[in-house]
Structure 1
Amino acid sequence: MAKFLNTSATNYYLEELIKNSSERLILISPFLKLNDRIKELLEDKNRLKIDVRIVYGKSELQPEEINWLKELSFIRTSFCKNLHAKCYINEESCIITSLNLYEFSQVNNNEMGIAVSRTEDPDIYKDAYDEAQRIIRISDEVRISLEKITPTDEVNDTSSEGESKLTSSKLARKLGCKTSELLENFTQAGYLSFVDDKHSLTEAGKNIGGEFKFSKKFGPYFIWPEDLTLC
């Protein structure tokens, strides 16, 4: 029988779902910025050669995520345009929830969800699994380069006027803060809006030189003037 999950229960059941997977694991989340605990659990699945699929779709893949994923040969990552679903499935259970695989959401947001058992809720589990497979099929698999990205290797993005600008992650690193902190501060300052788990550039953000970009490889992201100091 399906179980209702609040915020803390969702986080607990998610960790248990990852930990107990022995054959396959599917993680579908628009935003992808994993905390250390989730990374530790996924690294263990990689050591056990469990087939893991991660699908994301709303924000740029951060350099730390890229470097981490490069080391994990049994974890495949896909980008799905217009993704809003959050669903986590192993061979025995499924969580359908409002919770993103994003550090900020897991700590700060009020979430709801349900946990479904393949044994007790076979029809619901099958429908969720089939839909997850469909999302995987329409997603573009992200090919993670074997070459590590380092600060000296990265090239700044270029604005529409040819001006050199930094992505959110690079600007955050330059200012000595986390990308999530920078995005939160930009939202509070009115440069970004945050609606339905999605950041959007506001007119104020455009006025200070922010731009929206889209990469077929990593999805949507923002670039900013190098001299911004809000963090």
Structure 2
Amino acid sequence: MAKFLNTSAINYFLEEIIKSASDRLVLISPFLKLNDRIKELLEDKNRLKIDVRIVYGKNELQPEEINWLKELSFIRTSFCKNLHAKCYLNESNCIITSLNLYEFSQVNNNEMGILISRDKDSEVYRETYEEAQRIIRISDEVRMSLERVPQESVSDIADPSNEQQQKISTSKLAKKLGLSTKQFLSQATEKGLLLDKDETHVLTDSGISKGGELRESKRFGQYFVWPVDFEI
């Protein structure tokens, strides 16, 4: 029989679902934003080569987090338009809840949810699993990368007459300069173009004057672009 969960119980069982996944893990949440505990748990699943699918409707990851996520080869991410469902499941249990993934371990909000066991609630679990699979099927799989250019910018880059289109992403510029993205960010910080703040980077006035620009995509979150002829 399904079990009612309050806020603290949701946090507990969500962590248990992630930790106990031995075959598959599906995390469906409108917002893709991960705290340190979630990252730690997902890294462990990746080391164990567990198939993890994350479906989201809006990406709020920082550039450094995107680089972190793209290194986890067993974690696949998919974008689903108009997603509002919150469902977290492994091969044995699932939670349907009001709790967004980014609110995990937070107790400021009052949340509710239900825990469904595959053994005790086989029919409800099956229907939930099938709906989760349907959402995955209608979603667009996205390989996290700072090199990915939002669709609305492709035509701009192809048109050299448009000043805004003569800019490229940090990873592409780093590659052009013979650097890794991490090396570029480090050197840009040393030169005062970026500020390292709370494990993320922020453009300084100097960086802006050199043509650096912060852009945002609903799918890929925030990222920096730079003039194609930029020299560090």
Q: TM-score, normalised on structure 2?
A: 0.65
**Contact 1:58 / 1:82 at 8 angstroms: preserved in 2?**
no
Deviations 1:108-137 (A, max 9, x none): 321110000001001110111001001111
- Using the size of structure 1 for normalisation, the TM-score is 0.65
Aligned residues: 172
1 CA distance for matches of 2:36 and 2:63? 15
Q: Contact 1:55–1:77 (CA<8 Å) still a contact in 2? A: yes
Deviation at 1:42, TM superposition (A): 1.1
Q: Secondary structure at the match of 2:106?
A: helix
Larger Rg: 2
- After superposition, the Cα gap between the structure-2 partners of 1:43 and 1:105, relative to the gap in structure 1 and judged at 3 Å, is closer
Distance 1:20 1:143, change over 3 A: same
Give secondary structure in 2 for the equivalent of 1:106.
coil
Question: CA 1:104/1:132 → structure 2, altered by over 3 Å: closer, same or farther?
Answer: closer
1:65: Cα distance to partner?
Answer: 2.6
Aligned to 2:81: 81
Correspondences of 1:84-99 after superposition (within 5 Å): 84-99=84-99
Report if aligned partners of 1:63, 1:149 keep a CA contact under 8 Å in 2: no
Q: What SS does structure 1 have at the residue aligned with 2:96?
A: strand
Partner amino acid, structure 2, of 1:218: F
1:28 aligns with 2:45: no
**CA distance in structure 2 between the partners assigned to 1:98 and 1:111 by the alignment:** 6
Please give the residue correspondences for 1:113-192 in structure 2 after superposition, counting only pairs within 5 Å: 113-145=113-145, 149-150=181-182, 152=184, 176=197
Decide whether aligned partners of structure 1 residues 63 and 104 sit closer, same or farther in structure 2, where only a CA change above 3 A counts: farther
Check whether the contact 1:33–1:65 (CA below 8 A) recurs between aligned residues.
no
Residue pairs, 1:36-115, within 5 angstroms: 36-103=36-103, 106-115=106-115
Gap change, CA 1:122 and 1:178, over 3 Å in 2: same
Q: 1:16 to 1:105 in 2, by over 3 A?
A: closer
**What does residue 218 of structure 1 align with?**
220
